[in-house]
A and B are shown apart, each in its own frame.
Chain A
Amino acid sequence: MQDAEATTEPTIPTPGAVLWGKILRHKGILFGGGIVAVMVIVAVLAPLIAPYDPYAQSLISRLQPPVWLDGGSWQHPLGTDHLGRDYLSRLMHGARISLIIGACTAAISGVLGTTLGVVAGYFGGRVDTAITFLVTVKLSIPTILVALAVVQLVGGSLTVVVLVLGFLLWHQFAIVARAVTLQIRDMDYITAARMIGCSRARILLTEVMPNLMNQIIVVLTLTMASAIVIEAALSFLGVGVKPPLPSWGIMIAEGRTHIFFDPWLVMIPGAALFALVLSINLLGDGLRDVTAPQGRN
């Protein structure tokens, strides 16, 4: 039937090339990664490309609808809010807040959780028992409630929100890092490294960590998505970052007053938030698919 298959000798591609091939063929990664990339570019360039100052109020042009509704104009493509601020500009600056919070939180909790997980998995015994217990305790603490309480009591600012979330979202890193480390701890190449006298720190950094990276990156994306949603929820409830910062959560909260007559005030920032979280999740799920030892299906 397919004579060619039997005769042509297949060239063996490098693992890296295989991975890139899978990434470039994975629809979820392309779609999710594409939207995330656009959002990052918009966020970075917001001060340059935003048409207006996101804080500039103009009481004569309040509550102008977006361009696709009756009465909208290209002057304010996404309309203006109740203080006459340009909605598109606020949305673009809001992306900065979401991405900064997402990235910083993921970084803090990633370092914290991965360290704990690797230590638990590598040393085992009592250290493992203690850290596993710590994870169990952490899981029992209601994340949003504690975040709300602490941020409210300490005072809402970008730094506080990042620190609080960083200390609340590390458990997934610890669980994954521990599981992977346990798996590879007794592999021959680790034993070999130990036998030739590598220090523990060196083994952990140069032998264990590289094997963790794939899974950690996946957790990183998913944690980033959670952090972004939780920040928006806190700000929405009036306990996160403070107005007039254009956090998407604050924009939704402010739009809520006008929900019956100008629902787009709620729809637009929410849709942006949903799209960002969805794309980060798709990216993370996709990376999990392509880095899994055997691709699913």
Chain B
Amino acid sequence: MADAPFVSVSGLDIDLEVPGGRLHAVRDSSFDIALGETLCIVGESGSGKSMTALGLMGLLPSNAHRSARRLRVGNHDLLSLNRREMADLMGREMAMIFQEPMTSLNPCYTVGNQMSEMLIRHLRMGRRPALTLARDWLDRVGIPPTAGRLDQYPHQLSGGLRQRVMIAMMLMCSPKLIIADEPTTALDVTIQAQILHLLAGLQRELGITMIFITHDLGVVSRIADRVAVMYAGQIVEMGRTREILRDPQHPYTRGLLECVPAPGKTRPGAHLGTIPGTVPSLVGQLSGCGFAGRCPHAAVGCRGEIPALTVRADGRQVRCLFTPDALWSAA
């Protein structure tokens, strides 16, 4: 890994105030991303992956508390920025693409209006040049620049088109970091592939650093340089994509991979894996490994303490008490 990572997150905690107490959505999360690299954060719903992204952007709901030892993007220390300075960065240096294209654009304003206002805000452009640039960007994301597009309202566009508008809008000010929170989940499968292709292409072309959040391991294999697997608010395993997919170390990652059919390997009619049990309650403190209740290898020690994230020589990080080799041979 590079000496000065572009994004550096250390000890990120996000708590939500809920009726039953304090919900620990993200616990002690740490990761670094190099310039131009794509990190995929994988996990099931409620694992804290979206919260991590929103926490980084400072877009958490009002009942959330964020704390961290370090939160850096480029040479900006996000922890020391006030709301106004943060707003200057958002959309300019770091941008975010959301999951719901149908509801993420304002129904009351035209596409052109919503796109140009960003350029007017961050690049101090005039209205006309902003609209011209917006039209160019629509072309770039595969929306032919027919005259009327900029004057259309979001409800006149399909989901796929809206997500293209969203991508164009968020990339227009050439941010250095883009956070994509399941940008394809709400779309049709054929559209999903197009959008993914578009996003990955633009990311490479512009050299943008990307955090891509998904629950889809197929997507991970196509775009990620590195993967962080989250479970119950914690990163349980992190490493290079190829290695993680080929040789998962944490029992949860392994379970996750067994749930996915592999073309050519999984025979028709064969049983896909499932992970028994459910995610533990995130309200209150964990008393041991979060996965212990569902882990086929859990031992007494797993319930006594939260395993630390150990770093191996090759850079792989795993949060498990046992060395994998011992685990798999015992199994």
Chain B nearest CB, measured from A4 CB (Å):
8
Is residue A201 within 8 Å, beta carbon to beta carbon, of the partner chain? no
Find chain A residues with CB under 8 A from B284 CB: 1-7
Pairs A–B under 8 Å by Cβ, sample size 23: A1-B22, A1-B284, A1-B285, A2-B21, A2-B22, A2-B284, A2-B285, A3-B284, A3-B285, A4-B284, A5-B20, A5-B21, A5-B22, A5-B283, A5-B284, A6-B281, A6-B283, A6-B284, A6-B285, A6-B286, A6-B287, A7-B284, A10-B20
Interface positions of B from 1 to 58, Cβ below 8 Å from A: 20-22
Find chain A residues with CB under 8 A from B283 CB: 5-6
Chain B nearest CB, measured from A15 CB (Å):
16
Q: How large is the interface on B (under 10, 10 to 19, 20 to 34, 35 or more residues)?
A: under 10
Find chain B residues with CB under 8 A from A3 CB: 284-285
For chain A, the count of residues having a C-beta within 8 Å of the partner chain is 8
Find chain B residues with CB under 8 A from A10 CB: 20
Chain B nearest CB, measured from A226 CB (Å):
35
Beta-carbon nearest neighbor of A294 in chain B:
B19
* Interface flags, B221-264, vs A, CB<8A=1, else 0: 00000000000000000000000000000000000000000000
Chain B nearest CB, measured from A22 CB (Å):
12
Find chain B residues with CB under 8 A from A6 CB: 281, 283-287
Which residues of A does B touch, CB under 8 Å?
A: 1-7, 10
Chain B nearest CB, measured from A138 CB (Å):
33
* 8 A-B pairs closest in CB distance: A6-B284, A5-B284, A5-B21, A2-B284, A6-B285, A3-B285, A2-B21, A5-B283
Chain B nearest CB, measured from A10 CB (Å):
8
* Interface flags, B282-306, vs A, CB<8A=1, else 0: 0111110000000000000000000
Beyond A2-B21, A6-B284, 20 additional pairs, beta carbon < 8 A: A1-B22, A1-B284, A1-B285, A2-B22, A2-B284, A2-B285, A3-B284, A3-B285, A4-B284, A5-B20, A5-B21, A5-B22, A5-B283, A5-B284, A6-B281, A6-B285, A6-B286, A6-B287, A7-B284, A10-B20
Chain A nearest CB, measured from B239 CB (Å):
31
Chain B nearest CB, measured from A13 CB (Å):
13
Distance between Cα atoms of A6 and B283 in the complex (Å): 7
Find chain A residues with CB under 8 A from B21 CB: 2, 5
Find chain B residues with CB under 8 A from A2 CB: 21-22, 284-285
Beta-carbon nearest neighbor of B286 in chain A:
A6
Chain B nearest CB, measured from A203 CB (Å):
35
Beta-carbon nearest neighbor of B281 in chain A:
A6
Which of B20, B284, B287: most chain A Cβ within 10 A? B284
Beta-carbon nearest neighbor of A295 in chain B:
B19
Chain B nearest CB, measured from A1 CB (Å):
6
Find chain A residues with CB under 8 A from B286 CB: 6
Distance between Cα atoms of A2 and B21 in the complex (Å): 9
Which of A2, A3, A6: most chain B Cβ within 10 A? A6
Distance between Cα atoms of A5 and B286 in the complex (Å): 11
Find chain A residues with CB under 8 A from B22 CB: 1-2, 5
Distance between Cα atoms of A1 and B283 in the complex (Å): 11
Beta-carbon nearest neighbor of B15 in chain A:
A1
Find chain B residues with CB under 8 A from A7 CB: 284
Find chain B residues with CB under 8 A from A5 CB: 20-22, 283-284
